[in-house]
Amino acid sequence: MRSLPFLFFLSINVFLNAQVKLPLPTKAQLAWHEMEFYLFMHFGPNTFTDKEWGHGDEQADIFNPTQLDCKQWCRIAKAAGAKAIIITAKHHDGFCLWPSKYSKHTVRESRWKNGKGDVLKELSQACKQYGLKFGVYISPWDRNHPKYGTPEYNDVFVNMMKEIFTNYGPVWELWWDGANGEGPNGKKQVYDWDRFKKTVRTLSPNTVVFSDVGPHIRWVGNEKGIAGKTNWNYLDTVGFTPGIGAPPVEILNSGNEKGKAWIPAECDVSIRPGWFYHANEDDKVKTPEQLFDLFLKSVGRGANLLLNVPPDRSGKIHPKDSASLLGIKKLIDKNFANTIMKEKGVNVFFDKPDNIVIGANTKTVEVKEYLENSCNIVFDEPRFVNTIVIREDLKHGQRVKNFVVQILDEDKKSHYVQGTTIGYQRILTFSRIRTAFISIRLLDSFGNPMINGVEAFLIDENLVEK
Ligand code: FUL
């Protein structure tokens, strides 16, 4: 029996939490969460000069891939299980991978295909053909454009975005880099962010826009591909701008628990040390196991993983990179294909026996009286488990603040794994334990948790998060 004071506390707490009006994702943001893992491609003059940040004074002729093959990129992305490709249409050096009317530093000025080539055209078409979403990175910082540092550059940037939306859309995600320095005229730009946002809203309302502070997707605060173990999809942006005016990286990494806007984190990281291709990094490509670890630390913490795979000078993905990409797909398939929950002799109870959520995004259960209730996973026979996956139905906002997983071993000793936020998906791994009883307790939340997936796995013990 619960004591009266406890019941009183419980009802007050539920009442208070129910009063909190949570920010909610838009339809486009909800769909974005389901994208989970996709590729970034840094490609441009830097690929040919071995630089990371071109100065903008590189000869356009330097850009001359011998066998550019965007279909190869797409085939590999597909085989890796990635759902989109985001390309650096214009990096800080200002070189445009499409023949923009608003620049004199583009593929048109290069020798590649006698100035008739268009990488954005080839890639956007290939993505359509292969069923991948197409995204565009366009650096606001431009070290080549003569107008940079003057109000007219904002017109240039807006016009470039217009060209991209009009000629290569639909653009699923648009990426605004926060780096900001001087232009060729030695001046820094005052960006008209409001105008930029309005341009996207008007011309391509379904595009999700990434920057340090959104408006739709935020930077995770590091370039290592690692989200906070606590990762709120909420962020406060008032008074902040992308770049130098962004919130502290710790905030970007974890979000704001009581933030006013839905701006989830995206984890960008490169498969190699650099963002652009460098032959001397061919032996430093991340292994499938390292990529799997990053998957756990990004997608497993409710963020999305944007993995950079830079094409080489031929214009293709290097065999070392594609081998690692196929490797991570194998690891994900092998380790997450079979949820224990669907096997015979497994009983799952969430609140009431008819409230069962097995697998991913099956049905949503509102967990009432969450302080008391838990999801119990009971096996007929003891078995090894080292991974629990739990998901919230984000249509109702992100609610869970704190939870604990109790695993009872064969000697009736309890092991506890603590968790804070869940969000789209939390993958908790631990050293394997032989158990017949697991209990997930949701300890604190905004209102009642809305859970739409619980799974248990035994993954390769070597892949458990370090
Ligand atoms: C940074 C840039 O300066 C890097 O070159 C790279 O493009 C990375 C994704 O974003 O801000």
Question: What was the pLDDT predicted at 1?
Answer: 32
Q: Is 8 left (phi over 0), alpha (psi -120 to 50) or beta?
A: alpha
299 Cα: distance to centroid of ligand 1 (angstroms): 21
143 Cα: distance to centroid of ligand 1 (angstroms): 14
CA–CA separation, 35 and 24 (whole Å): 18
450 Cα: distance to centroid of ligand 1 (angstroms): 37
pLDDT, average across residues 435-442: 92
Q: Give the DSSP per-residue string, 52-103.
A: SS--S-S-GGG---SS--HHHHHHHHHHHT--EEEEEEE-TT--BSS--TT-
Is the alpha carbon torsion for 11, 17, 21, 25 positive or negative?
Answer: negative
CA–CA separation, 48 and 26 (whole Å): 40
344 Cα: distance to centroid of ligand 1 (angstroms): 49
Q: Whole-number mean pLDDT of the chain?
A: 92
**pTM greater than 0.85:** yes
**Does residue 2 carry a pLDDT above 60?**
no
- Any residues with Cβ below 6 Å from ligand 1, and which? 52, 177-179, 268, 275
Among the listed ranges 348-362, 381-395, 429-443, which one has the minimum average pLDDT value? Answer: 348-362
Question: What was the pLDDT predicted at 9?
Answer: 39
Q: What are phi and psi of 405, to 5 degrees?
A: -110, 125
CA–CA separation, 374 and 366 (whole Å): 12
Instruction: Please report how the helices 70-80 and 119-130 are oriented relative to each other, as an axis angle in degrees rounded to 10.
Output: 40
Superfamily, domain 339-463: Galactose-binding domain-like (2.60.120.260)
35-336, CATH topology level? TIM Barrel (3.20.20)
CB atoms inside a 10 Å sphere around CB 108 = 20
CA–CA separation, 149 and 143 (whole Å): 10
What is the per-residue pLDDT across 237-280, written as a single tens digit (0 to 9) for each? 999 999 989 999 999 999 999 999 999 999 999 999 999 999 99
**Nearest atom, ligand 1, residue 268 CA:** 9
177 Cα: distance to centroid of ligand 1 (angstroms): 6
Question: What was the pLDDT predicted at 357?
Answer: 55
Which residues is 399 bridged to in the sheet? none
Q: Quick one: which of 321, 218, 238 has its CA closest to 276?
A: 321
**Nearest atom, ligand 1, residue 178 CA:** 11
Q: For atom 10 of ligand 1, which residue has the closest CA?
A: 177
CA–CA separation, 325 and 305 (whole Å): 13
- Domain boundaries defined on the chain: 35-336, 339-463
Q: For atom 4 of ligand 1, which residue has the closest CA?
A: 275
**Does residue 352 carry a pLDDT above 60?**
no
- Contact in structure between 123 and 85 (CB atoms under 8 Å): yes
Which among 177, 252, 270 is the best mutation to test ligand 1's pocket, defined by most ligand atoms within 8 Å of the CB? 177
44 Cα: distance to centroid of ligand 1 (angstroms): 13
What is the per-residue pLDDT across 84-142, written as a single tens digit (0 to 9) for each? 999 999 999 999 999 999 999 999 999 999 999 999 999 999 999 999 999 999 999 99
